Amino acid sequence: MKIKKFTAASMQDAAKQIKKELGNDAVILHSKQVKKRKWLGLRSQQAVEVIAVLDRDVREARKTPPAAGEEMKKTEKTEKTEKAEPVQPPRLSDHSTSDDLAHYKEVLPEPLKKAERLLKQAGLPDHTQNAVLSELLRSSIASGDLTEENVNSKLQDLLVKKLPSADRWQEGIQSKYVVLFGSTGAGKTTTLAKLAASSMLTEHKKIAFMTTDTYRIAAVEQLKTYAELLQAPLEVCYSKEECLKAQEKFAEYDHVFIDTAGRNFKEEQYITELQEMIPFDSGLQSFLVLSASAKYEDMKQVLKQFSGVPVNQFIFTKTDETASLGSVFQVLSESRIGAAYLTNGQDVPEDILSVSPKEFVRMLLT
C-alpha cells in the first residue's frame, strides 16, 4: 500500500500528479480545498489537497469500478460543486508496494486518525494496530464512506471478527463441577464465590464447595468464610482419594465449585497435581483465571503452562484495575478461547459480568 498527499491548483492538476506518481490504479481517498500562501504569506490562493492511495486490494474490493475517463470527469464536476467532501475514488492499472502503514499515518483523514488513536489507547500490540488500521483503510475506501460513523462501525466489526465467535463467550454455569485455576492472586477464590453465590441466589441451585488449595491455612479460611455466608458445605481435599470422597458426598448437589491453589505458573508440579486431583472426566467446566491487568507476555506464559489441562473458557479479573484491555484482546484473539466472565471489583457477588464480543470491543475502545 502506498499513500501520498498532493497539493495542486485544481482537482484536474492533482489527478495528473497522482497518475504520474502512483499510476493509473491509484484511488483518491480524500480531498479538500485549502488556501496556499504566496509572497511570504501576504497573498493566498485557493488550492486542493488530495490524499491518494495505491493498493491492489482496494481496487479489487470495489465491485463495479467506473472507467478511468468517466471517473476523472466526475472528479472535476465534484470539485465545482463540493467543498471539503470526500470524492469518489477514480479508477486509474496494477501496482502494489510496501504495506508499511506507519509511513503514511500522518496523511490519513481525521476519522482514520481517530481510529488509530483508539487502537493505541486500547493498548493493542503495534502489529495488531497496524493490521487493523490497514484493513480498516481498505474497507473504508472500498465502501466509499469515510464518515466518522462508518469508520467507527467498521473498526468495531473488524475487531469483533478477530475475536472467538460469540457462542464461545456466554455459556454460564452448566456443568455439575466448576473449577477455577490460574496464577497466584489472580482472583480465583473471590470469583468462585461470586459464581457460587449467583448460582444459589439467582438460579436457586443447591451448591457445595471443594478446595484443593491446602498449601495455606488462610486460603481454606477464605473459602470457608464464603461457604458459611452461603450456608453451603465445603470439603477440603488433600489427596485424589479425598477428592473422590467429596464427589460422592455431593452426589445430590446441582453444582460443586472447586477452588485450586494459587501457584506460580512456572511450577510444573502444580499442573501435574491439578491433573491428578480434579475430576476432569466427570462433566466439568474449567475456567482459566487471568488478571486483566497482567502483561500480555505473562498471560501467554500462563496459557502455555495450562496447555496440559482442558480450559473451556477464560475469566478475566480486575478489569477495574487497568486502563486498557489490549492484552486481553490479544490473548482472546490468539487462543480462540472465549471469555465467560469479566470481574470488575472485590465485592461478592455483584462485581462480575458476562459480555458478548461486541460489548467487549466497545469496552476496549472506551
Ligand X SMILES: Nc1nc2c(ncn2[C@@H]2O[C@H](COP(=O)(O)OP(=O)(O)OP(=O)(O)O)[C@@H](O)[C@H]2O)c(=O)[nH]1
Chain residues binding ligand X by CB under 6 A are 184-190, 213, 219, 262, 317-318, 320-321, 343-346, 351
Is 183 one of the binding residues for Mg ion (CB under 5 A)? no
156 or 189: whose CB is closer to ligand X?
189
* Terminal C-alpha separation, the chain: 29
26 or 219: whose CB is closer to ligand X?
219
Specify which residues 339 forms β-bridges with: 314
75 or 189: whose CB is closer to Mg ion?
189
* Smallest distance, ligand X to C-beta of residue 196, A: 13
Listing DSSP states for 163-188 in one string gives SPPGGGT---S-SSEEEEEEBTTSSH
Cell of 198: 449467583
- CB 54 within 8 Å of CB 95: yes
The partner in contact with residue 93, picked from ligand X, Mg ion, none with C-beta cut-offs of 5 to 8 angstroms by kind, is none
The partner in contact with residue 347, picked from Mg ion, ligand X, none with C-beta cut-offs of 5 to 8 angstroms by kind, is none
Please tell me the distance from the alpha carbon of residue 58 to that of residue 96, in angstroms, as a whole number.
10
* Smallest distance, Mg ion to C-beta of residue 189, A: 3
Please tell me the distance from the alpha carbon of residue 224 to that of residue 338, in angstroms, as a whole number.
30
Rounded to whole angstroms, the maximal C-alpha distance in the chain is: 92
- CB 46 within 8 Å of CB 32: no
Query: Strand locations in 55-123, DSSP E?
Result: none
Is 330 one of the binding residues for Mg ion (CB under 5 A)? no
Under 8 Å CB-to-CB from 138, ≥6 apart: which residues? 1, 55, 57, 58, 61
- CB 220 within 8 Å of CB 327: no
Q: Which amino acid is at 220?
A: V
* Smallest distance, ligand X to C-beta of residue 7, A: 52
Cell of 285: 467446566
* Smallest distance, ligand X to C-beta of residue 206, A: 23
137 or 261: whose CB is closer to ligand X?
261
91 or 188: whose CB is closer to Mg ion?
188
Q: For residues 235-294, which are near Mg ion according to CB under 5 A?
A: 262
142 or 186: whose CB is closer to ligand X?
186
Among 189, 211, 286, 327, binds Mg ion (CB under 5 A): 189
* Smallest distance, ligand X to C-beta of residue 105, A: 35
The partner in contact with residue 185, picked from ligand X, Mg ion, none with C-beta cut-offs of 5 to 8 angstroms by kind, is ligand X
The partner in contact with residue 199, picked from Mg ion, ligand X, none with C-beta cut-offs of 5 to 8 angstroms by kind, is none
Please tell me the distance from the alpha carbon of residue 18 to that of residue 11, in angstroms, as a whole number.
10
Binding region for Mg ion (CB under 5 A): 188-189, 262
